[in-house]
Structure 1
Amino acid sequence: MKVEIWSDVMCPFCYIGKRRFETALAQFRNKDQVQVEWKSFQLNPQMKTEPGKTINEYLAEVKGWTVDYAQQMNDHVTSMAADAGLEYNMDQAVVANSFDAHRFVQFAKTKGLGDAAEEQLFKAYFTDGKNTADIETLVSLGAEIGLDAEELRAVLDGTKYSDEVRKDIHEAQQVGARGVPFFVLDRKYAVSGAQHSETFLNALEQSFGEWEKANPKPLVAFAEGAACTTDGECD
């Protein structure tokens, strides 16, 4: 059964949602039959990469908040992240457009490393304060998860996988995603936001139960012997 997750690297709730979903999946008895696919989504496609601006200054600017209020909001999110076992250093986060980071993930998906790429990007952005719009930074992050550095650099220096990113963003509208994280299970059930692990587990159990009925496992013959058939033949 496929679970598709629309996400943006700059979304603090997406990393928290990832951890909570992983906790639920680890408890799910049929986890080996679940395929997770990460999908691209941009919260602010027009965002300019500004390494000299703090995330609090950015939020104050775009949302009309005071910097102090933005700090309070980020402190709250940092506390939520800690409860999920994550370390957020929001004061170090680099304001960065996420389009190339999404191309990075799309390329990693072709190598079976989509989940590793998402994890690497989230940690780079929220914990390590790295510029996830910088090509050399992305190449370095890719090499750490086993991607070929020169192949990745060639991808990022051009426009490859741009269409895949845009397709995912368009598809998000079709499935009803207005924000992220957005989880779609077997294209039947949707879970919006960084829900608690219990909610994810319940969604997995319900959607998998229906998926399993529609996709019964074929029986595998262990041994064959003398038998009779419905046409009356016995041997």
Structure 2
Amino acid sequence: MKVEIYSDIACPWCYIGKRRFEQALDRFAGKDGVEVVYRPFQLVPDASETPRPHREWLAERYGPQSVAMDARVAELGRAVGIDYDFDAAIEVNTLRAHRLLHLAETEYGSAVQADLKERLLKAHFTDGVDIGDRAALTGLAVEAGLDRARVEAYLAGDEGAAEVRAQLSAGRAMGISAVPTFVFEGQWAVQGGQEADTFLRVLQQVEAEIAETAPVTPDGDACTDGACAV
């Protein structure tokens, strides 16, 4: 079974959704036969490459309620082992990070890509790392098992950018407008950071080849273009 997860590194619900899906996968009897691949999505495609403090960025969009928004996400994150540090987090364009994930998947495989994805999310949301910085990205990639020289050469130019943009366009053509979105076997889509029990039911339904109708699930909390509503 192939599961394609459309998400953005800058999306806090994507991190929570990732953890909840992993909890479900650990409980799924057929987990050894599941391949997980991460696909790109940009909440703010025109975001600057100049980093900005997260608190400042969010307050500009949502005003005083931004503090409560972060607090709720942080509380839910703790329940799945995520230590959000929004005071340290930096907002920046995520295209370069998505290019790196594309390199990991195409040249090293989905397992290495998943490892890198986790490192990128932690770096962004917990460690206050600028995930648009080439040196920082290179360090994270090497930790995940990628070759340093290959990564440095890759990030020095625009290699992979066209492919990532094509995937971004393909996702939108499929109707994906909010993340995280989990696409099972290219046929069934589940949107939002669902609870682990919901993900487990979907995995079981797909395994049972219920191909006539998509698994019906309620919309979960998710980030849409340029916004993370709570």
User: Matched residues in 1 for 2:165 and 2:130: separation?
Assistant: 22
1:114 alignment partner AA: Q
User: What is the DSSP-based 3-state SS (H/G/I as helix, E as strand, rest coil) of the residue aligned with 1:87?
Assistant: coil
Cα distance change of structure 1 residues 211 and 145 upon mapping to structure 2, 3 Å threshold: farther
Residues 106, 161 of structure 1: 8 Å contact kept: yes
Alignment deviations for residues 12-64 of structure 1 (CA, whole Å, 9 cap, x no partner):
0001000000000010000111111110111101111343x321211222x2x
Alignment deviations for residues 130-157 of structure 1 (CA, whole Å, 9 cap, x no partner):
0000000000111111111111010011
Matched, 1:111 2:108: yes
1:82 alignment partner AA: R
1:159 alignment partner AA: D
Q: State the number of aligned residues.
A: 208
1:175 alignment partner AA: M
Residue pairs, 1:29-40, within 5 angstroms? 29-40=29-40
Match of 1:98 in 2: 94
Match of 1:160 in 2: 159
Matched, 1:20 2:20: yes
1:174 alignment partner AA: A
1:111 alignment partner AA: Y
Larger radius of gyration: 1
Alignment deviations for residues 195-224 of structure 1 (CA, whole Å, 9 cap, x no partner):
000110011000111089xxxxxxxxxxxx
User: Matched residues in 2 for 1:169 and 1:187: separation?
Assistant: 16
Residues 4, 39 of structure 1: 8 Å contact kept: yes
Residue pairs, 1:20-99, within 5 angstroms? 20-51=20-51, 53-61=52-60, 63=61, 65-66=62-63, 68-99=64-95
Residues 186, 211 of structure 1: 8 Å contact kept: no
User: What is the DSSP-based 3-state SS (H/G/I as helix, E as strand, rest coil) of the residue aligned with 2:208?
Assistant: helix
1:88 CA drift (Å): 0.5
Residues 74, 90 of structure 1: 8 Å contact kept: yes
Matched, 1:209 2:208: yes
1:187 CA drift (Å): 1.5
Residues 89, 127 of structure 1: 8 Å contact kept: yes
Alignment deviations for residues 122-181 of structure 1 (CA, whole Å, 9 cap, x no partner):
010001110000000000111111111111010011011112211211121232211110
Alignment deviations for residues 55-94 of structure 1 (CA, whole Å, 9 cap, x no partner):
1211222x2x22x321111111111111111110011001
User: What is the DSSP-based 3-state SS (H/G/I as helix, E as strand, rest coil) of the residue aligned with 2:189?
Assistant: strand
How many percent of aligned residue pairs carry the same amino acid? Answer: 39
User: Matched residues in 1 for 2:56 and 2:43: separation?
Assistant: 17
Match of 2:197 in 1: 198
Cα distance change of structure 1 residues 71 and 49 upon mapping to structure 2, 3 Å threshold: farther
User: What is the DSSP-based 3-state SS (H/G/I as helix, E as strand, rest coil) of the residue aligned with 1:210?
Assistant: coil
Residues 125, 131 of structure 1: 8 Å contact kept: yes
Match of 2:216 in 1: none
TM-score by length of 1: 0.85
Alignment deviations for residues 70-119 of structure 1 (CA, whole Å, 9 cap, x no partner):
11111111111111111100110011110000001001112121101111
TM-score by length of 2: 0.87
